[in-house]
Structure 1
Amino acid sequence: MPASFEDLTKRRIVPVIVIDDANDAVPLAEALLEGGIDIIEITFRTAAAADAITNIAKALPTMLLGAGTVVTEENATRAIDAGVSFGLAPGLNPATIARFQKAGIPFVPGIATPSEVEQGLSLGCKLQKFFPAGDMGGPTFLKALAGPYASFGVKFCPTGGVSLGNMNDYLALPIVAFIGGSWLATKQQIADKDWTTISRQARDALAAAA
């Protein structure tokens, strides 16, 4: 089921997941739910992404399910067909945005400059991914963007270089909707099926954000 802008902005932390085996998708999502996180981004960085999304969508329909690294129209079509609630990308591609809009599913394009913020707004995207956040100036840069753009209702999702140690520097900014973090479930932890650790990391992150 498609997410809404309000659904997404109510969440503060989104796990960014790279998964190699689609059979791990459901137990991974269950581990995050056990830790209190009901939203996930499965990145299209591996061949297992689409099947992983389908498996979660079928088994856990209440999970807000995002497809990340959606950089082509083909990725977009596969993500939509798999049953995602929303999509994200590291960059801003009008064709990809249009594909999601046609399907009635929110899309979060990536931005790194004021010009890209304005292009995203012109295409109807008020939720934008700030990537790579750490390398592009982090919270200081986002504070600067808030000056000219906060009044337009834009919100940002910083991803890239965000960690348990610095996430609250981002979350303290009113212009930040949520942060994306890959540390919540690493590739190695997923491969090792270390669901207990992933649940604990989710709980720790939520406690720190609170």
Structure 2
Amino acid sequence: MEAPRDAESQPEPEPSAAAAEAPEEHQDQQEEDENEVLMAKAQSLMDKITANPENPSPNVLHALATILETQESRYMEDADHSSTNNGRSAHNVGRLGNLIRENDEFFELISSKFLTENRDSVAVQAATTRLLFSCSLTWMYPHVFEDDVLANIRGWVMEEIPRSSGDDRNWKHDTGKRKTIDSEMLRTYSTGLLAVCLARLVISVVVN
């Protein structure tokens, strides 16, 4: 005996709204977990620097700068493909910038101490200026550097970068190529920071 035709042609039940939302909720939770891991990693790197401020590791500073640069690239990609742009503050790069800026002890080190004390090597200064420049992209208002910091930044842009006592201590362990790269990096990111400072000056003149 044949089954009724209307039984064969009955449409399959549509998935419920809750079932449709489940994958999206899972993705949101996964992104939130990844963001927390990212912030924890950045915090861990900052803790390593503040734990030993007299002997900062340029590799740790570079690692933190790399995280910021990676998130900046992702922000730019999202901005290109999104019809709504909420600014960096709504993205990981903005959150990272705030995390660094709001850590007073760490920010004091990278915005002042590491850029003014001669015993810090060119490698440390290069890594610090790289990190600061990455941070500067997240600032709503540029940071006001102390006069001696600005003087050093201008010097690194305009003059030959001398070897510091920190470089002398590590001379046997570093190659000439590494020193050249650090010096070029210091000049490059100092130029970027100086441009940020000049932009702030122009804005203040226009506003006033």
TM-score by length of 2: 0.27
Q: Which has the larger Rg?
A: 2
Say which structure, 1 or 2, has more relative contact order (CA 8 Å, 6+ apart): 1
Q: Which has the higher helix share?
A: 2
TM-score by length of 1: 0.26
